[in-house]
Every structure is written in structure tokens, then in C-alpha cells.
Amino acid sequence: MTSLNHLKTFALLAAMTALFALVGHLIGGATGMAIALVLGAGVNFLSYWNADRIVLSMYGAREVSDSDADPLVRRYVEDVMELASAAGMPRPKVTIMANDQPNAFATGRDPRHATVAATTGLLRMLERREVRAVMAHELAHVRNRDTLTMTVTATLAGAISALANFAFFFGGDNRQERPGGVIGTIALMILAPLAASLVQMAISRSREYEADRVGAEISGDAPALASALEKIDTFARRGAVNLAAERNPATAHLFIINPLAGRGADNLFSTHPSTSNRVSALIERFGGRQAAAPQKQTRRRGPWEPPQGPWG
């Protein structure tokens, strides 16, 4: 699984870089393509090492600990640490976002450098077992090594959109000399970000089902995850706006539920599978909706952990 996810990540980076180069070619021919390739390599490097910090800063996420003054935050930190230990994972950094919309995401290039983030709305509006189930889902993304791919795509998609917009607004008179002229430039501005978004959507949707499954196993409480998904989706639909997500739509796929104003339909243009489909998949795999007591798990050594010594 780890090697397959690495392969997917490198394939995605290659696809995004190729798209970056294509946009550069349409902007400035061979010279533009060469410049775009250099920029693309720089963005890839930056994304690998710093994309998590970039995304966390977008949402004003602050690191918290079990000594926080807020009892809800202390409980949240304690639960994340307990879940990570039970799953045999390195303990991640735990952060909080000041936002009324209940939601959460995980980021980081590997399990040893992972961070989970939850909104204040999630801690206030959901029951404790539901919050635990949501964070178990995010830890599943970490264990499955989805976080690198999902965070890198957010950064690259934003860069591609910015480059396409640059081509339209600052391209100058040479737009007439490009393939397709002005019409081609307008098409580029629309289609390049769309292509990047479609790659994001296809990847993130398939990984959400798997993270639901693994997260339910980590928490031992599939009904709580199903309930949490429905509650978060309901709040998002009723107008609990996430302004940071609205300003950075390329990051929407990171969250457990789409933070943007959408209908959650399971179609080509959704960043997430429909919530009803996800809940149905959980019920089909784990049984009915009745409450389940969390299952005690035995700590397992993760593939990232050295044979001896600390996590590193």
C-alpha cells in the first residue's frame, strides 16, 4: 500500500508538472514552457517540504496541547493521541481552527510529520464519540499516506490556476500570436484549473471511502462516524460558511466533508463522494446504526517506525 501511494504521488506530480508546462507553452511557446518547467519543479519541491505549513497557515490553525485552557480542546488532544497510539502510529501535531463550520483535515508528508486540524465548530457541535470518529478518519488518511498527495495537489492546483489567470490578465498583446489567439487564452484560463481540479476530485473521492473504512476500524465506532458525516454535511448545507475555504477552493478536498457550498452529489465535479453513499458504505460494511462501544486496540508497530528507538 505504501509503495502504491508513493507511485500515485509521483504520477500526480508528473501530471501536474506536465499541465504546468502546457500552460507555459500556450503562454510563451518553447521559452514559456521551459520557464514553466523550472517553476513547476520549484513548486513541486516547495509542496513536498512545505505544503502542510502553507495549508495550515491558510486556515490560521494553531497548535494545541492537553494543557489548553479549554476543556473541549484538552479532550480533543487526548482523544487524538489515544487513537494514534492504539493504531500504532506516531503521534501527530494537533491543531485547532477558529471556524464555526464543523470540519477537519489532516496534512503532512508522512506519518512522522503529520498534523491534524479540527474546527472549533466540530468540537462544539458534535458529541465526543463523533469527534473521535472524525479524527480517526483523519488519522486513516495519515496512515494511508494520503496526506502528501492531497496537500500537494492543493498547492499545485492553486499554482496552475494562478498561472492561467496570469496568462489572461498580464499576457499583453502577444495573446494574438498564441495558439487560438484570445479565444485560446480564455479557454486556457478556464480549462487549466478545471483539469487540475478534476485530478484532485478523482483522487480525493476514492480515498475518502478508504479513510472511512480504516477510520471506523481505528475508532471501533462506525456508527459514530456515520452520524458525524451526516451532521457535518447538514451544517455545511445550512450555511455554516468556511470563509478560508471559500478563498482557497483548491484545498476543499482536504476536508472530511466539502467545506464549500455544494450539494454533495456523487458526480464528476464533486470533491467528495455523496455523504449518503459514504454512510451506506459504512453501514454495509460494519452493520447497523446502533451505537457501538469503541473497541480496544493493541498497539502495532507502523512501517515508518525504526526497529528500535524513538519515532525520529
Report d(CA 281, CA 62) in Å as an integer: 33
Which of 148, 94, 109, 90 shows the shortest CA–CA distance to 306?
90
- Say which range, 27-36, 134-143, 274-283, has the weakest mean pLDDT: 27-36
Tens-place pLDDT, residues 68-100: 999 999 999 999 999 999 999 999 999 999 999
Domain ranges of the chain: 2-286
The stretch 147-152 carries a mean pLDDT of 77
Whether the CB-CB separation of 156 and 164 falls below 8 Å is answered with no
- Give catalytic status of residue 138 as yes or no: yes
**Residue located via cell numbers 479557454:** 187
Which of the residues 78, 82, 130, 138 is marked catalytic?
Answer: 138
Report d(CA 37, CA 178) in Å as an integer: 18
Quote the pTM value. 0.77
For residue 22, how many other CB atoms are within 10 A of its CB? Answer: 16
The stretch 117-134 carries a mean pLDDT of 97
